């Protein structure tokens, strides 16, 4: 166990990317990490020496000791991009707005961004980490947590109680995150309990905002959450790829976070 203490953000994102897919090619990683293939090779060699990854010709993979990939490492994927998307989403809020906040690391970034929002807001969430982050501003923000059963390491509350409580609200905005997207433009996720929560939030909100990093564009899920067209805004860190644009009735709803 060598020094895994001072790994730079690129190392962390590299690990996260490999964990996310189980394996990744040098070229893919070089493109994602914005560096040369040479550097990726060096990083991989280092991480393999530290027994974090296993390498194969052309890339690296990870033996998953746990089926569930760590919530902590998910945070390392597209950290900067998630921050930018969160900032854009928050910048479009108005004083006094009431919003639903979904679970996921992207929404955690929104919570962090809201700390710097200096105006009154109402926030309703089933996201424990976000709620705890927001608690630092509880004098300014009106934060409501819906009841439920803790469903994941990230502190997502789900279950019939959660759904039932959500239905008693009617808010201005819902900020939703998902795991992936399919070829027809439907957003996907894995946990049906969490999907129910997302759908309920959308039904009880005026403006629906989707937060989806470009990494999600090539990822999947097992169950449909909603269609792209059901959202009033789609916030991403890159412009909409052509194949996505053709799936949208209103491609102008796509927004790129700079």
Partner DNA sequence: ATCAAAATGTAAGAATTTGATCGTTATGGT
Partner DNA sequence: ACCATAACGATCAAATTCTTACATTTTGAT
Q: Is 6 or 68 the residue whose CB approaches DNA more closely?
A: 6
- Tell me which stretch binds a copy of itself (CB under 8 A): 52-60, 91-99, 174-182, 198-206: 52-60
Half-sphere exposure of 66 (CA within 13 A, CB side): 7
| Residue from the set 2, 22, 27, 245 that interacts with DNA by CB under 7 A | 27
Mode of pairing for the β-strands spanning 233-236 and 223-227: unpaired
Question: Binding string to a copy of itself for residues 217 to 256, with x set by CB under 8 A, is what?
Answer: ----------------------------------------
State yes or no: residue 79 binds DNA (CB under 7 A). no
Query: Looking at 28, 30, 46, 155, which residue binds a copy of itself (CB under 8 A)?
Result: 155
Contact 48, 90 (CB under 8 A): no
| Cβ neighbours for 149, distance < 8 A, ≥ 6 positions apart | 157, 158, 159, 161, 162
Least CB distance to a copy of itself at residue 15 (A): 13
Figure out which of the listed residues 77, 114, 157, 177 binds a copy of itself, where binding follows CB under 8 A.
157
Tell me if 57 contacts DNA by CB under 7 A: yes
Rounded to a whole number of angstroms, the minimum distance from the CB of residue 119 to a copy of itself is 17
| DSSP result, 162-213 | HHHHHTT--EEEEEEE-SEE-TTSEEEES-HHHHHHHHHHHHTEEEEEEE--
Q: How many residues bind DNA (CB under 7 A)?
A: 19
Q: Is 150 in the site for a copy of itself (CB under 8 A)?
A: yes
C-alpha pair distances (Å), 242 with each of 59, 246, 254? 28, 6, 12
Q: What's the closest the beta carbon of residue 176 comes to a copy of itself, in angstroms? A: 19
Binding mask 37-56 for DNA (x = CB under 7 A): xxx-xxx-x---------xx
Task: Identify the residue among 15, 93, 101, 134 touching a copy of itself (CB under 8 A).
Answer: 134
Q: Which does 39 bind (CB under 5 to 8 A by kind): a copy of itself, DNA, none?
A: DNA
CB distance 98 to 125 below 8 Å: no
Q: Which stretch binds DNA (CB under 7 A): 22-30, 99-107, 113-121, 247-255?
A: 22-30
Q: What angle do CA 16, 21, 22 make, to 5 degrees?
A: 90
116-120, Cβ contacts within 8 angstroms, sequence gap of 24 or more: 117/90, 117/93, 119/93, 119/94, 119/95, 120/95, 120/96
Q: Taking CB under 8 A as the rule, does residue 131 contact a copy of itself? A: yes
Parallel, antiparallel or unpaired: strands 171-177 and 205-211: parallel
Q: Which CB sits closer to a copy of itself, 137 or 227?
A: 137
Maximum Cα–Cα distance for the chain, whole Å? Answer: 55
Residues lying near DNA in the complex (CB under 7 A): 8, 10, 25-27, 35-39, 41-43, 45, 55-59
């Amino acid at each position: 166990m060598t020094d895994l203490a001072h790994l730079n953000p690129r190392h962390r994102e590299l690990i996260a990317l490999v964990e996310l897919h189980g394996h990744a090619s040098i070229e893919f990683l070089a493109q994602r990490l914005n560096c040369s293939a040479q550097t990726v090779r060096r990083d991989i060699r280092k991480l393999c020496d530290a027994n974090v990854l296993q390498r194969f010709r052309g890339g690296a993979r990870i033996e998953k000791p746990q089926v569930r990939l760590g919530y902590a490492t998910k945070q390392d994927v597209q950290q900067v991009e998630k921050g930018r998307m969160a900032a854009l989403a928050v910048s479009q809020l108005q004083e006094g707005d009431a919003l639903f906040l979904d679970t996921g690391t992207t929404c955690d970034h929104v919570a962090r961004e809201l700390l710097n929002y200096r105006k009154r807001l109402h926030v309703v969430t089933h996201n424990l980490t976000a709620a705890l982050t927001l608690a630092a501003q509880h004098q300014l923000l009106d934060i409501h947590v819906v009841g439920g059963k803790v469903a994941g390491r990230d502190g997502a509350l789900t279950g019939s109680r959660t759904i039932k409580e959500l239905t008693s609200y009617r808010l201005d905005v819902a900020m939703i995150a998902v795991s992936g997207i399919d070829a027809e433009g439907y957003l996907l996720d894995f946990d049906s309990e969490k999907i129910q929560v997302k759908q309920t939030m959308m039904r009880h909100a005026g403006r629906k905002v989707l937060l989806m990093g470009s990494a999600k564009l090539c990822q999947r899920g097992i169950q449909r959450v909603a269609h792209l067209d059901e959202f009033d805004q789609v916030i991403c860190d890159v412009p909409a790829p052509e194949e996505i644009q053709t799936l949208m009735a209103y491609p102008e709803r796509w927004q790129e976070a700079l």
